[in-house]
Structure 1
Amino acid sequence: MTGIEDYTRQYGLVDKIDAFGYLDYLAANPDAPRKHGKVVLVTADTPLKASRGEGKTTTTIAMIDALRERGIDAAAVLRQPSMGITAAGSKGGASGGGKALLTHPEIVDWGLCGEMGAIEAAQNLLVSFAEKAIDDGLLDTVLVPRVSEVPSRSLRQIAVDRGKGNVPERVVLTPTCELMQIVVLSRSMDEIAERVSKMVAGTKDGKAVTFGEFIDLWRITGILTDAVKPAKTETVNGSPVYVHGGPFANVSLGIPTLVSVDLACALHDVVIVEAGYGADAGAQKWLDIACREFGAQWPAAAIVVTRASTWRDDPALSWRYPFHVQRLEGLGIPTFPLINLWEGEDDQVPALEQTAAELGFRKPVIGNLFRDGGDALAPQLDDFVAAVTGEEETDVPASHRGEPLVDNVKWVASHAYGVPAERVIEKAGFAESLADARRLCESAGIALDDLALVAVKSPATMTDNDAAPADDRTVTLKKVEVHAGAGVVHVNLTTSLTTPMPKIV
């Protein structure tokens, strides 16, 4: 009998799984053994600093270890982090820590599962084709950025001397690029090829020219043969973990690939999915893009991670954690606050529990997960297990495709950031950027308002100034950028870089 092992092969110290092939097999053989796992979303409070996470990955790993200790077949799906930022010490890795750790954390943190390098090569080859198309008179401009896993300030905006004048180009980090988004959202290699063909390479006489008009797509899809396969590894306690897809939920999607989650749900009863940065970033994009627009599973429950210090030490920002928890509860998702203690904070537990009760939260889950791992969580999960294993399901809200883009942004600002529509401001130049994006889409035969919205924002703030009084908080719209192949449109809201610089370590 055919099984998952027939679609799995060794790839260095991890396994690679042909998820496209296995899920096609299950679709063609409805009587084949499979599970229908429920998704649990792990997100976080908005961090005080972009470089300081709240502990989502450590929590995710500790959670599956704890659930399996209780006899529940649980697995995790993690994002592949950006090696350039992780290795440079600009933020923590994506492999947990202490007793809540992957067996080979360096494999994940240094990009050795392979997809980052392959996606980098494939998108850069696309740019090379676009540059050659200028030589051949097929393009006047190049609109697709080159990508790199190594940050460089000098490459943020460059110009290439073509002999007949300079052609502006730019470089972004790999996980922020359109090809990464295509891999994250696609469920077959044919879909990837179709989406790449719709990527706007540049313009000729002011009109969009797509890659499908002048290149053979097999040259790109061939590079991605292994990159589209989720990596499988495990925790130090033997719990299964799948790693696939890019981070950076502030400037891109920041969620694992949809196919990796589909795969895990076919193999396990509970699948913990980690979304990037805070609930205003990764969770918003899982719910409003992956679920609402691309058919991903609506979470059976959510966990919002914070540190005791983040939640309580800055009064001007203390509104954010309750906002996240209450927003997810308001969507019908049983939401469990989890407080990830640091060493020396155990004596704060009674006060934290009292504050959570005063805010009307479910009973918080509290523990030092680095020190104690899943052992800290297993005794506290009765309510969580009851919620996840219950029969109640919530309908996925309707798509926003077709709504005017600015109305869509205002909806996100209101629901995900707590800023009403009347306090969403358009910066000088935004209207022109929106008009340019609309003309580009029209020339490519695409309706701008049919693209899914990706809010591009600071990872450490939800509004223009989170410390401002509630009635003074605003969100400013700055720029629009079309990713037609991925089926998304970026709207820049607050200052954020797609090529952040490392720290000196």
Structure 2
Amino acid sequence: MAPKTDIEIARDAQKLPIGEVAATLGIPWEDLIPYGHDKAKLSADYIAGLKDRPRGKLILVTAVNPTPAGEGKTTTTVGLGDGLRAIGKKATVCIREASLGPCFGLKGGAAGGGHAQVVPMEEMNLHFTGDFHAITSAHNLLAAMIDNHIHWDNALDIDPRRVTWRRVMDMNDRALRQVVTSLGGPANGTPRESGFDITVASEVMAILCLATDLADLQRRLGDIIIGYRRDRTPVHARDLQADGAMTVLLQQAMQPNLVQTLENTPAFVHGGPFANIAHGCNSVIATDTALRLSDYVVTEAGFGADLGAEKFMNIKCRKAGLAPDAVVIVATVRALKMNGGVAKADLGGENVAAVTSGCANLARHIENVKKFGVPVIVGINHFVTDTEAELSAVQAFCRQFGVEAVVNHHWARGSAGITGMAEKVVALAEGGARNFSPIYPDDMSLFDKMDTVAREIYRADGVVADERVRAQLRAWEEAGHRSLPVCMAKTPYSFTADPTRGGAPTGFTIPVREVRLSAGAGFVVAICGDIMTMPGLPRQPAAERIRLDADGNIEGLF
């Protein structure tokens, strides 16, 4: 008999009513806003009442650079949450919501895998509680109000050539990257060039994930710079009186979603910025709420540690006053072999030399995370093709860096396969004082912040950018934005801007071709190399395999 797929395992889950899941955290039924029987949002009043409670321990799960072989970062996040609960800790999982773009594109679902999943898996990977639709609507409402204002006399003297606010949709659609709007005559507005980004790249998404309450949300939305007047002064969303209506659209989306793992561990699933083109973390409000309710919170940051973990530390922790108590770096033998030069088709055979060579990628991530002053452990996500010699090679390599590497079997066995790791994470997290600090100060110039990330995290020889980009950064600094952190939009598949260069390359620079000011979110985005903020579908998208069976069940999600 063939092993069960992720969706089949999820469908067999023995879910508890969401009120019972909430009760394990002490959340009363009346403070839930239920969405059916197995998911709910928390009321804003209940969250506000938690502010004086102490926070629990925060565990960040990150990974090596992703490969087609798979790493299992979300699976490890979920499994570790279950493992901590299995050893008697009051634990909660915090992950991001899934975007429809990669779900129907290449990546598939985002709820974990095997026996370490968050459920309901189908709803989570599709429309869930509608948060992404609300973010898309709020973003595009502002876009519509900009064009409407220009059409009706343009009292703010907005220069149509300098409108920077694009539109978004939650789908991979390369045809919309660059468009011309308002064609068809004066009744349709003033024609101008624009384009679409994917919803997870929207500044509204970043704002929702960094805001602490509705008042902070509206303030940040009002701070959005939509473009510039003819005298080059910025125009904000509040100038168009759009921030109020945008907040109304986001009122319920702002409230964290509570669901559960296959083992009924509480899980907050909220927000979903990508880590390659945005800051890659779930919402601050969900993380903080979980920390007030739990002894341990396990969260993840997208893609490899060079993107997700770097942004978690330099943006989310800096802005929210958080500090991780321990960091887990996920690796697989398969991914390390690919970083060591083995083709995907040849991963099944033992190759200790390739594993050791590929460990250079893991070593760089270990060194980088240590630069933030937090303790590190490596979690090896076990595959059935792994050999003892290959696993031992990874563990021996990590010992050279004073870091333990633990083999985990949560995909196959759930919490029972990761309790050893859970015990070690607890020992790390409770092991004493922390020296956490971001790797650059607030008062460093914006260009130097980008250069610092490139040199310290990617190990590049620096950042290169033309004078137009440098002049724009200087202008933003003069306008009072020098203290903002930077969000590097870069390929996740390499430390370089070239996705084909695996391992731990040296002797390269990071080209910054464009910069975008996210004044509401509170960071500056650097578009590096050929990275796109609107992905395209692959040659054979996952959508081709997704359908309903004769009984109305969804097939093809993974």
Is TM more than 0.5 here?
A: yes
Letter in 2 for 1:345: D
Superposition deviation, residue 220 in structure 1: 1.0
Letter in 1 for 2:531: S
Tell me which of 385, 396, 401 is aligned to 2:437: 396
In structure 1, distance between residues paired with 2:321 and 2:109? 26
- Judge conservation of contact 1:291–1:396 (CA < 8 Å) in 2: no
Pairing of 1:9-158 with structure 2 (within 5 A): 9-12=33-36, 13-18=38-43, 20-27=44-51, 30=52, 34-49=53-68, 53-86=70-103, 88-136=104-152, 137=154, 138=156, 139-141=158-160, 142-158=163-179
- Judge conservation of contact 1:82–1:246 (CA < 8 Å) in 2: yes
Superposition deviation, residue 467 in structure 1: 4.9
Secondary structure in structure 1 of the residue aligned to 2:467: helix
Letter in 1 for 2:172: P
**TM-align CA RMSD:** 2.3
**Change in CA separation of 1:251 and 1:335 when aligned onto 2, cut-off 3 Å:** same
**Change in CA separation of 1:299 and 1:291 when aligned onto 2, cut-off 3 Å:** same
In structure 1, distance between residues paired with 2:413 and 2:179? 48
Q: Which moved more, 1:267-276 or 1:352-361?
A: 352-361
In structure 2, distance between residues paired with 1:441 and 1:404? 8
Question: Is residue 209 of structure 2 the alignment partner of residue 184 of structure 1?
Answer: yes
**Change in CA separation of 1:216 and 1:425 when aligned onto 2, cut-off 3 Å:** closer
Q: Which moved more, 1:209-218 or 1:260-269?
A: 209-218
Tell me which of 245, 263, 277 is aligned to 1:251: 277
- Judge conservation of contact 1:353–1:363 (CA < 8 Å) in 2: no
Which residue of structure 1 aligns with residue 493 of structure 2? 460
Q: Indicate the percent of aligned positions where both proteins have the same amino acid.
A: 28
In structure 2, distance between residues paired with 1:483 and 1:147? 15
In structure 2, distance between residues paired with 1:105 and 1:382? 28
Which residue of structure 2 aligns with residue 376 of structure 1? 417
Superposition deviation, residue 397 in structure 1: 4.2
Question: Is residue 485 of structure 2 the alignment partner of residue 447 of structure 1?
Answer: no
**Change in CA separation of 1:391 and 1:468 when aligned onto 2, cut-off 3 Å:** closer
- Judge conservation of contact 1:343–1:368 (CA < 8 Å) in 2: no
**Change in CA separation of 1:414 and 1:21 when aligned onto 2, cut-off 3 Å:** farther
Q: How many pairs align?
A: 486
Structure 1 length-normalised TM? 0.90
Question: Is residue 531 of structure 2 the alignment partner of residue 496 of structure 1?
Answer: yes
Q: Which moved more, 1:189-198 or 1:212-221?
A: 212-221
In structure 1, distance between residues paired with 2:321 and 2:274? 19
- Judge conservation of contact 2:78–2:112 (CA < 8 Å) in 1: yes
- Judge conservation of contact 1:80–1:111 (CA < 8 Å) in 2: no
**Change in CA separation of 1:218 and 1:334 when aligned onto 2, cut-off 3 Å:** same
Superposition deviation, residue 324 in structure 1: 0.6
Which residue of structure 2 aligns with residue 299 of structure 1? 324
**Change in CA separation of 1:223 and 1:418 when aligned onto 2, cut-off 3 Å:** same
- Judge conservation of contact 2:370–2:376 (CA < 8 Å) in 1: yes
Superposition deviation, residue 166 in structure 1: 2.7
- Judge conservation of contact 1:437–1:482 (CA < 8 Å) in 2: no
Q: Which moved more, 1:186-195 or 1:215-224?
A: 215-224
Cα deviation digits, residues 226-272 of structure 1 (max 9, x gap): 10011000111111100011131010011011111100000000000
In structure 2, distance between residues paired with 1:47 and 1:398? 23
Pairing of 1:346-495 with structure 2 (within 5 A): 346-348=387-389, 350-357=391-398, 359-397=400-438, 400-419=441-460, 423-427=461-465, 430-436=466-472, 438-439=474-475, 446-465=479-498, 466-467=501-502, 470-495=505-530
Letter in 1 for 2:124: V
Superposition deviation, residue 35 in structure 1: 4.7
Which residue of structure 2 aligns with residue 225 of structure 1? 251
In structure 1, distance between residues paired with 2:311 and 2:504? 26
In structure 1, distance between residues paired with 2:120 and 2:506? 47
Secondary structure in structure 1 of the residue aligned to 2:92: strand
Cα deviation digits, residues 190-237 of structure 1 (max 9, x gap): 111111111112222133211111225321111111100110001111
